[in-house]
Structure 1
Amino acid sequence: MKIISMIPARYGASRFPAKLMQNLAGKSVILRTYEATVATNLFDDVFVVTDSKIIFDEITNNGGKAIMSQKEHESGSDRIAEAVANVDCDIVVNVQGDEPFTERESLQKVLEVFKTDTNKEIDLASLMVEIDDWDEINNPNTVKVIVDQNSFALYFSRSPIPFPRDKNAGAKYYKHKGIYAFRKEALLEFTVLPMQFIEATEKIECIRYLEYGKRIKMVETEIQGVEIDTPEDLEKAKRLWK
């Protein structure tokens, strides 16, 4: 089974423009993420896929591999699907460019899902981490996920799910970590499935898979890390790096 990682990297992020080129302990965020992904030693190859000459040069000038997107894309999945269309691989792992604390343990858990899925019932797998801070649970920048008894995703939302009408009912809240592992065919199919209103409303691309009946296996991890969505996140990452 050939496994590659693609890191979609857009320069003009809406919430924090140019965040991937911000300095994190002497290197850019995107270079830190690329190096961390390579350092897991889990992949046959690792590429950054970008629409930006600045990011492309940042990676290649530091000895890494990068691919320039040929088209404009609405989502990271669309961007990497274009890049892998003619690449020989079975599993594609999408590591978000703003995840400089990407580590081996969590990624390995996600990949194990496919090694035991002999009937190919799983289209993609992703990570979740339990959260109990109500500020984070209510933060729309934190995507939450709920799962069924077999840990397949039921829904993703920027709102608290489930809604805490009864806080003593024992509900657990999970944050969705932005790492996906796809079967290549599921990823390519994503690009021809029209976006529906739920995905467009929440601005969460993996909802499209659920809307079209795809199965997303969620894997729990205890490793939080820091996703850099805001300048405050960057400062937190700098403190954590030290």
Structure 2
Amino acid sequence: MIRLNVEQLKNRVELVNKYMELDGSSYDLESGIVTIQSLIGSKGDRKSSTTQQGYLFYTLRHKGKNTTVYLHHIVMILADAEEYIKQMAEGKTINHISGVKTDNSLSNLEYLSQADNLTHAYIIGLTDKPLEAKVTPYEAYEMLEGFYQSDRSIEELSEAFNIPVGSVIKILKGKNHSGLFVMFKNLNKDAVRPKSSKLTAGAVRHILEMYFVKGMTQTDIADRYKVARSTVGMIVTGKRRADIYQEFNKEQLQEMA
């Protein structure tokens, strides 16, 4: 999302007010319904459009240029233009409280920071990964260090940092915080397997633990790590990464002794 400066925000407010002052324009903040006259001297209303994400917007023309303005922004401008400029200039976003993007009633809109907006989307089920944005580089490094050097399991890290297992895996594979992952990998080449390998040594150990200790099925483990079930089958039978398999079995026998 492009962050506008105060002057640009003032221009947006001025543009919206200009269209709303037309005789054929009207609005109801309680319902979030806005009617915008097409053009000065033209008949009919300007039609709204919908983005792929489900947001309603209008294309407003000014000095030969088209400007896209979302309906929820129009509602907040009409409710309090000065507050809108203040909040947006501070980097805030407008959140739909219910998660229904077509409900632009004033009571369903609020200003939130980008991070809080992502967290809200996760809580109400609009996305399954925004909490990853809350992980700081320091925390991501702690995860890498814990998994690759301290044998902490993915589930342990998920619980410790309060993020989904899938988010932990992305960090451990370098899909998130990729620059940090590259740095850690260069400093710990023996601990982190080459990128061509889908499963790290720590992941293989965790698979063995889930299968032999926790009793999870090969299918469930495969779904967890996004790999083929046959891959898990080869690991738990020692046909792949035999060195880790043998070491794991040895440790289990010692614990039983």
Work out whether the TM-score is over 0.5.
no
TM-score normalised according to structure 1 size: 0.23
Q: TM-score, normalised by structure 2?
A: 0.23
Greater percentage in helix: 2
Larger Rg belongs to: 2
Highest relative contact order (Cα 8 Å, sep 6+), 1 or 2? Answer: 1
Identify, as 1 or 2, the structure richer in strand: 1
